[in-house]
A and B are shown apart, each in its own frame.
Chain A
Amino acid sequence: MPPPLALTVNGERRLLDDVPDSERLLDTIRWRLGLKGTKEGCRSGECGACTVLVDDRSTLSCLTLAHEVDGSTVTTIEGVARDPVGRTVQEMFARAGALQCGYCTPGFVLALVGLLKERGRAAPTEELLADLSGNLCRCTGYLSIARAVAMLPREGP
């Protein structure tokens, strides 16, 4: 059996025993940690619904082995409001009504939070939208998502 898996998930340190070598981070998050906000969409890296932050970098949890991120910090949608950038993105999505069925929302929010952490708040809206191209919305609610991005405050850290 592999050694225990150590992750800091949404600020909480977790030590997980008996995680199989072949387990995806997505399944660890959903089934082992019970955090169902992270969604499984295509399971092949095309839709972005399973996006989480690993050490502040947006990551497809469906194409990442859990043991490959051993020792890392993981942020899921449940923990996004702990962070000021995450809270701001969440508020803008709510204000813009940037969701229909909501299935793609956690992935979009975390992908955007990751981009803002990488590039800073001053990044132009068009570039942020282009960099969200890995996230799909099957309801095609893109206009309201784009509105949420455009509404982000451009000043501050």
Chain B
Amino acid sequence: MKLSLGPIQYYWPIETVQAFYTQARDWPVDIVYLGEVVCSKRRELRLLDWLEIADMLEGAGKEVVLSTLALMEAESELITLQKICENGDFKVEANDMAAVHLINSRPFVAGPHLNLYNASSLELMRENGAVRWVMPLELSARTLDELQSGRPEGLETEVFAYGHMPLSFSARCFTARAHNVPKDQCELRCIDYPHGMPLQTQEDQELFTINGIQLQSGLPSNLLGEIDSLRQLQVDVLRLSPQAEGMQQIVTAFDAARKGEQSEAITALMAADTEWCNGYWHGEAGMLNVNAVLK
């Protein structure tokens, strides 16, 4: 099984992003997804900056994929999308059918937001050039089992295996709303929240994470304990979603687990089972930790 670094979902300063990927060059990840996937107002890095990082990572032997926005409304966003799709060097991850349309049958990765829930949809993507698909976040191992048996030839399967799950996108910016300012005057406040803003219930339960126009799960999804079933289901790639802190340990844990090795990183990541969830994988509410429930 290969490991991938998903796109950074938060808004980090350019120096932080560059430092993150300089470190990632030496991590045991096989694939790196680069680019802005949440909000087009986040312009710390321009396409050329991303391409520079892409070249550096490709030089280090990584497969690089350029990720794209999941919600596009403005013409300027479509122009950027077109530039990315026509970059000529790197594969693109499509998170909206607009990207599939513009990719125009070149090889691409069908991202988690394309809503591919059945074999017919996978065939459609394969016909349009997809070489890999990322399972929708809310599907279970059991559904994946059924999907894998109907998977078209030449299509790899990737599963979101660690991180705060992107659950929804809106026209409204919830970070701006929390600061009581309109979206047009947001002053790019997301940059102050490298892990997003926690949203809790009135009983202090971690429910969601506010990340600009996106809401994420309050708890990170963690499929480290499911490596055996992921392998059995012939999953090709495990996606680890970049976190502002502790990412190296997460990568180390998954790398050890895929090799069947023991590691302190695994123990550390599996501890505190009230702090992560795996419900979707087990066909339950996504927020649940089935391991904790079984205790």
Physical interaction between A and B: no
